Amino acid sequence: MEAKTKPRIKLHGFNNLTKSLSFNMYDICYTKTKEEREAYIEYIDEQYNADRLTEILETVTEMIGANIVNTAKQDYVPQGASVTMLVSEGPVIEVPRTSSDAIPEPLPEAVVMQLDKSHITVHTYPEYHPNEGISTFRADIDVATCGEISPLKALNYLIDSFDTDIMTIDYRVRGFTRDIDGRKLYIDHDIRSIQDYLDDSIIRQFDLIDVNVYQDNIFHTKCRLKAFDLDNYLFGYSKEEITAEEQQAITKKIKTEMDEIFFGVASLRS
C-alpha cells in the first residue's frame, strides 16, 4: 500500500511560523598535565575552527533548502570560535548597480529580497577544570527558520559533525500563521518528539529522556552516550599506560562530569 501524501495547507499570505532548533553538544576528555590540557584545547580549536564550522553551516543551509544571505565568522583568543549566518527561504535577488549624482556614496552591489527571519549560529567553548584534569568541549548550535523550511532536516547531520558524549536538544515552534479562511495555525507539521527525527543508529547509541510541553509546541530531549571506553576519554595516551587504580579514579571523575551535565546538577566532589 502506498503512503498517502499529506495535502499541503493552503495559507493566507506568508507562512510566518518560526521554528527554532537549539542544542548543546559536550565532548569530555581527561588530561593529566597542564601541557596536555593546553594541547587538547589547541587540538579542539583546530578541529572546530571558524572555517570548519562555516563549512558545516553551509551544508546545513543546503539541507534545509535555504539560501545564504550573509556570513560572519571569528576565531577567538585564547580559544573558541563563532559563526553566524543569515539565511532566506526565498532567493537572494541581485539588483543591477546604478549611479546618481544625488548620491555620491558607493551604492550596494546587491539588495536582498524576500528576507525571512532565519539564521544559523554556532559557538564553541573549550574549557578545563583547574584541579581535576577534566576538559570539556561544548558547542552551542541554533537553527531558526521562518516559513516552510524546517531545521529538523539537518538534525542528524549536525550530530554526526561533532564528537559528542552529551546532547541537550530543544525544538520550538512559535507564532502563528493563517489558512485561507483566516483560522490561526500554531504548527504546520506533525511531531511527538525530537526522537522521531533521529536516525535509529543515533538512538541506539544514546540514552534519551524527553520533556515535552505539547500545548506550547515545545520539545526537549537529552541524550547521553551509552558505551564507555576509557581510551576514548584519554588524550595522548592509553589506559594500558596507567595503573588499575588510576583507571578507576579517572573513570569516576569522567562519569561524574557526565552525570552533572546530563542531569544539570553539580555534585560535591571529594
Catalytic, out of 88, 119, 146, 220: 146
Establish whether 82 is a catalytic residue: no
Note whether 149 and 89 are within 8 A (CB): yes
- Is 236 inside a domain boundary? yes
Establish whether 223 is a catalytic residue: no
Handedness of CA 8, 12, 14, 18 (dihedral sign): negative
In order along its 270 residues, the chain shows pLDDT tens digits of 343 445 666 765 667 788 999 989 999 999 888 888 889 889 999 999 999 999 999 999 999 888 898 999 999 988 999 999 998 876 555 544 444 444 444 434 544 444 456 899 999 998 888 888 899 999 999 999 887 778 999 999 999 999 899 999 999 998 887 877 788 887 888 899 999 999 999 999 999 999 999 999 999 999 999 999 999 999 888 999 999 999 999 999 999 999 999 998 776 554
Note whether 165 and 225 are within 8 A (CB): yes
- Is 157 inside a domain boundary? yes
The secondary structure of the chain in percent helix, strand, coil, rounded to multiples of 5, reads: 30, 30, 40
Establish whether 118 is a catalytic residue: yes
Which CATH number belongs to the domain containing residue 33 in this structure? 3.60.90.10
Number of domains in the chain: 1
- Is 207 inside a domain boundary? yes
**pTM, two decimal places:** 0.82
Q: What is the pLDDT of residue 115?
A: 43
Handedness of CA 254, 258, 259, 260 (dihedral sign): positive
Handedness of CA 63, 65, 67, 71 (dihedral sign): negative
Catalytic, out of 88, 118, 150, 161: 118
- Is 137 inside a domain boundary? yes
In which domain, by residue range, is 144 found? 18-89+112-263
- Is 184 inside a domain boundary? yes
- Is 97 inside a domain boundary? no
- Is 270 inside a domain boundary? no
Residue 172 half-sphere exposure toward CB, CA atoms < 13 A: 11
| Residue 187 amino acid letter | I
- Is 130 inside a domain boundary? yes
